[in-house]
Amino acid sequence: MEMYSGRPNRLDGIRVVFLEAPGEPEGKIIQDRKIDNKSVLLKFKDVDTREQARQLVGKEILLPENQKIALPRDTYFIHELIGLEVFTDSGDYVGRLTEVIQMSGNDVYLVRGKNREVLIPAVGEFVREVNVNQGKMIVRLLEGM
């Protein structure tokens, strides 16, 4: 499993996780874990065969809101950013943030507007303000973006 958090010990002390599933997420009890710098291998209770494990491949592991970690200032969870309405610093509507592309240097926001898609580097030079509560982001675009 690939870790989104960048913190290999993120699942330390967590006994139950939820796997994405149609409808309601499915709760799984962690029986054992092996962690290195880039990935986590989890052994779930009642998942004892390779075939049972194969059925879980590609599913995202979700944690309840009450188990989320505190983030540094101006840092957001991806799910908080998806869906934000994006405007330029001069007030023009750009579109809705639909995807966060994780790159080695910095993330890039994919914003889909009525007639175009815009890729915006997730750095202070371009992202001027993020207001999750108001559901909007203010950006500075260079000519041609």
pTM: 0.68
Q: List per-block mean pLDDT (blocks of 10 residues) for the chain, which spans 145 residues.
A: 64 84 84 78 92 88 80 87 96 96 91 94 95 96 77
Range of the domain at 135: 78-139
Contact present, 120 and 112 (Cβ < 8 Å): no
Do residue 53 and residue 87 come from a single domain?
no
Q: What is the pLDDT of residue 38?
A: 65
- Tokens 């966060």 map to which residue? 100
Q: How many domains does the chain have?
A: 2
Instruction: With CA atoms as reference, report the closest residue to 65 among 51, 75, 80.
Output: 80
Instruction: With CA atoms as reference, report the closest residue to 107 among 92, 93, 126.
Output: 126
127-131 and 16-19 strand pairing = unpaired
User: Which CATH number goes with the domain that contains 96?
Assistant: 2.30.30.240
Residue 82 tokens, joined: 């998806």
Q: What is the arrangement of strands in the sheet containing 16-19, beginning at the earlier edge strand?
A: 40-44, 26-35, 16-19, 61-62
Domain annotation covers residue 2: no
